Amino acid sequence: MLPHKQIEARLHSAVRAVLPDADLAGVLVRPCPDAKFGDYQTTSLMALAKARKSNPRQLATDVLAKLDVAEVCERVDIAGAGFLNFWLKPSVLQAALTDAASGKHLFFEPTPQPRTAVIDFSSPNVAKPMHVGHIRSTILGDSLARTLRLLGHRVVTDNHIGDWGTQFGMLLVGWKRELDAAALQADAIGEMERIYKKLSAECKENPATLEAARQELVKLQGGDVENLRIWREMIALSQVQFDTIYGRLGVNFDHTLGESFYNPRLAGIVEELVAQGIARESEGALAIFFEDSPQLKDQPALIRKSDGGFNYTTTDLATLAHRLETWQPDEIIYVTDGRQQLHFQQIFAGFRKWRGGKAEGGKQKAEIKFAHVWFGSILGEDGKPFKTRSGETVKLADLLDEAEERAFKVVSEKSADLPEAQRREIARVIGLGAVKYADLLPNRQSDYVFSWDKMLALSGNTAPYLQYAYARIRSIFRKAEGTPSIQPPIPSIQLGQPEEVALAKQLLTFGLTLEAVAEEYRPNFLCNYLYDLAGRFTSFYEACPVLKAEPEVRASRLALCELTARVLRQGLEVLGIEVVEQM
């Protein structure tokens, strides 16, 4: 067991001895934010004391009296209003590093309680290009899926593409009247976007066009063979372009069940909601009302329009029901921009009214965790929403091309001697990594400014900096001929210098960082962790000679280099970012 898990287990026993009925799930051990005060910390006792209206410092004192961590810690302090700070024994740190060097773990362990999580992310709309707004959902969702999987959870990824709705009326009129077959061949989404824009402008001017679009939509909904054929073609053509982008980004989905998949269920769901008194009429439409909720009491959610059409909400309720029946998840995660916050509050509250919110099939299953993981906007350097020079939304494919192109310049300046094909491949990895990392690093709820120069810089908290740190470690092994990685006999790790200790301690908190990412849906924790790790590695490498050291110290330091490289590579992989051996 990793040392922090041991501390946590002992802490749980001590808390149970003092408060037999306490909920231990929230009693956690985390890295101490300031190394001056210890290696690990728990702040959980304060919440326990608060819930019982007792004195947190007294609770900390009582728990400490029952706490037996002598095997792992050399010291435990009570601090502040009732924290406990833990100091690891040097021998425990050294043993954990030696275990990692022998391949027993990479500072994380699979969870003893695997959950099933459905992650709904990316979800672009048919016949429209994926734009820069979809990048955040795609990249955040993908890194959450990777993190949860690495920790041993079951993950189901589902791309809820927008393949149904009123826009298809206009698209059908446009397709039949305006379609340029050659343009469709060359750039299908571009052509569909053109006809959509043309028709939507015309519908605003001309009531006859609007009526024509309405009729095409009614025909599609009624199962008209020709309209269904065209609609399916639009979906297939869009999917080809989406898949090209997903391929470049290395993103996979287990399922792509678009909005249309749920269509057959919508009428039944609306009937059920009305019969149960959850939805009622309002100005000719039907809506769910939330009188009992302080936040939502003035925000009814429409589930059927006055013309009989169904809403985004209706589809999402059907989607939720389907996911619960099909995958029995413990957790459903939606990754969209912040403007959909109200929508998801309504979905979660509406669903609990309707189905109670317990997992299906399970005996004593807990409440399902619904999470709306939302994010802010990407801004241009002028602080306004990020646009092309001519004021258009930035298409994702163009953005990725530009990233690779710019990275190619950087790589060619730095490593002019490498063959072009290799520079191209490095540029692909660096360019895509830079874009992804720039998106994952900021707190997801804040807006961020898109800056090529910043994200491609080789210094500072960027992907190229971390990729470079990795490649530099690999070059040490190239120089240490005959020492490609850690080789048996496994060296015992020696932590003689303070820089070695600092690096070792940072390595040891990799797993805790992954858990925090999964708990709070925040990959930025991992970005900052990796940046710190690279920094501590640099200090270590400057202070401690590796290749020139005495054989035993050399073997131990090479192992520290190797473990740092492994954690960097694994950490970046969880962020969806590749590495290269040489840059």
From residue 327, how far is each of 166, 367, 371, 372 by CA, in Å? Answer: 30, 15, 17, 19
Instruction: Fill in the amino acid letter for 151.
Output: L
Q: Which one-letter DSSP state was computed for residue 284?
A: T
Nearer to ligand ARG, 133 or 169 (CB): 133
Closer CB to ligand ARG, 131 or 566, in the complex: 131
Q: How far is the CB of 481 from ligand ARG (least distance, A)?
A: 53
Q: Which of 334, 386, 470, 521 binds ligand ARG (CB under 6 A)?
A: 334
- Find the length of the chain: 583
Sign of CA dihedral 425, 426, 431, 434: positive
Q: Is 142 in the site for ligand ARG (CB under 6 A)?
A: no
Which amino acid appears at position 422 of this protein? Q
- C-alpha–C-alpha distance, residues 235 and 17, integer Å: 60
User: What residues form DSSP beta bridges with 393?
Assistant: 387
Instruction: Give the nearest distance from C-beta 249 to ligand ARG in angstroms.
Output: 17
Name the segment binding ligand ARG (CB under 6 A); options: 41-49, 117-125, 380-388, 550-558: 117-125
> How many chain residues bind ligand ARG (CB under 6 A)?
10
Of residues 72 and 234, the one with the C-beta less far from ligand ARG: 234
- Residue 120 in contact with ligand ARG, rule: CB under 6 A: yes
Which listed range, 31-39, 121-129, 241-249, 424-432, lies at the site for ligand ARG (CB under 6 A)? 121-129
Among 136, 160, 505, 536, binds ligand ARG (CB under 6 A): 160
Establish if 125 lies at the interface with ligand ARG (CB under 6 A): yes
| 331 contributes a contact to ligand ARG by CB under 6 A | no
The secondary structure of 122-187, three-state, reads: CCCECCCCCEHHHHHHHHHHHHHHHHHHHCCCEEEEECCCECCCCHHHHHHHHHHHHCCHHHHHHC
**DSSP alpha helices (H): ranges in 481-581?**
498-508, 510-520, 524-543, 551-574
| CB-closest chain residue to ligand ARG | 123
Q: Is position 167 an interface residue for ligand ARG (rule: CB under 6 A)?
A: no
Q: Is residue 313 part of the contact set for ligand ARG (CB under 6 A)?
A: no
> Least distance to ligand ARG from the beta carbon of 546, Å?
49
Contact range with ligand ARG by CB under 6 A, out of 119-127, 444-452, 473-481, 565-573: 119-127
Q: Which of 129, 162, 300, 511 binds ligand ARG (CB under 6 A)?
A: 162
- Shorter beta-carbon distance to ligand ARG: residue 134 or 146: 134
Q: Is 350 in the site for ligand ARG (CB under 6 A)?
A: no
Q: For the CB of residue 534, give the shortest distance to ligand ARG in the complex, in Å.
A: 35
Task: Tell me if 241 contacts ligand ARG by CB under 6 A.
Answer: no
For residue 364, count CB atoms less than 10 angstroms from its CB and return exposed for 0-12, middle for 13-18, buried for 19 or more.
Answer: exposed
Residue 260 near ligand ARG by CB under 6 A: no
Choices 19-27, 29-37, 118-126, 142-150 (CB under 6 A): range interacting with ligand ARG: 118-126
- Taking the complex as a whole, the smallest distance from the CB of residue 340 to ligand ARG amounts, in Å, to 7
Which listed residue (138, 239, 241, 336) binds ligand ARG by CB under 6 A? 336
**Closest CB 401 distance from ligand ARG, rounded Å:** 22
By beta-carbon proximity to ligand ARG, the closer residue of 131 and 557 is: 131
Q: Which is nearer to ligand ARG, 108 or 344 (CB)?
A: 344
User: Is residue 323 near ligand ARG by the rule CB under 6 A?
Assistant: no
- List all residues 6 or more positions away from 555 whose beta carbon is below 8 Å from its beta carbon: 491
How far is the CA of 192 from the CAs of 181, 206, 388, 398, 480, in angstroms?
A: 11, 20, 20, 18, 57
As a three-state string, the secondary structure of 406-423 is: HHHHHHHHHCCCCCHHHH
We find the least distance from the C-beta atom of residue 366 to ligand ARG, in angstroms, to be: 23
Determine the Cα angle at 458 with ends 535 and 249, to 5°: 100
What distance lies between CA 169 and its chain's CA centroid?
35
Q: Does 319 bind ligand ARG (CB under 6 A)?
A: yes
Q: Considering only residues 280-299, where is the footprint of ligand ARG by CB under 6 A?
A: none
Burial class (CB in 10 A: 0-12, 13-18, 19+), 73: buried
Structure tokens at 529: 């962790």
Name the token pair of 532.
Answer: 């710190």
Window of 2-10, 48-56, 122-130, 467-475 that interacts with ligand ARG by CB under 6 A: 122-130
Contacts of residue 186, Cβ cutoff 8 Å, sequence gap at least 6:
none
On whether the CB atoms of residues 341 and 374 are closer than 8 A, the answer is yes
Q: How far is the CB of 125 from ligand ARG (least distance, A)?
A: 5
Binding site for ligand ARG (CB under 6 A): 120, 123-125, 160, 162, 316, 319, 334, 336
